[in-house]
């Protein structure tokens, strides 16, 4: 059996990257969010947020819809069922690994 510290390396990197984890966690708390709201919430630059959203969209964890509201472009992002499941599973796994690491001692290795 591997140590909890070794198991951290096995986490899903698409979800685990801090900016993407922040995006998915925020989206899991709401139905959808627009691009500017997510940008303010996460503190990411437009380019950074766009890049992370592309990766999440390619992984089918979010959907991105672009439309015009009047003459103003609006980008709306929603978490998919797979994305919601992935972020919930990720946080649960982090909690499990944290608990395992608190119970670990050098003598048990």
- CATH architecture of the domain covering 4-103: Orthogonal Bundle (1.10)
| Cα distance between residue 10 and residue 84, in whole Å | 19
Q: Give residue 108's pLDDT.
A: 64
Q: Give residue 8's pLDDT.
A: 84
Q: Give residue 9's pLDDT.
A: 86
Longest dimension (CA), the chain: 66
pLDDT at 109 over 80: no
Domain boundaries, the chain: 4-103
What is the pairing mode between strands 33-34 and 72-79? antiparallel
pLDDT tens-digit readout, 2-37: 677 788 888 999 999 999 999 999 999 998 999 999
Mean pLDDT of all residues in the chain? 92
């Amino acid at each position: 059996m591997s140590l909890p510290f070794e198991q951290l390396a096995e986490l899903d990197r698409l979800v685990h990257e801090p900016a993407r984890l922040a995006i998915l966690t925020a989206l899991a708390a709401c139905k959808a969010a627009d691009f500017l709201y997510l940008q303010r919430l996460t503190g990411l630059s437009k380019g950074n947020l766009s890049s992370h959203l592309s990766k999440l969209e390619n992984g089918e964890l979010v959907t991105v819809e672009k439309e015009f509201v009047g003459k103003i472009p609006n980008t709306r992002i929603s978490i998919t069922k797979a994305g919601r499941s992935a972020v919930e599973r990720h946080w649960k796994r982090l909690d499990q690994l944290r608990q395992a690491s608190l119970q670990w001692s050098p003598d048990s290795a």
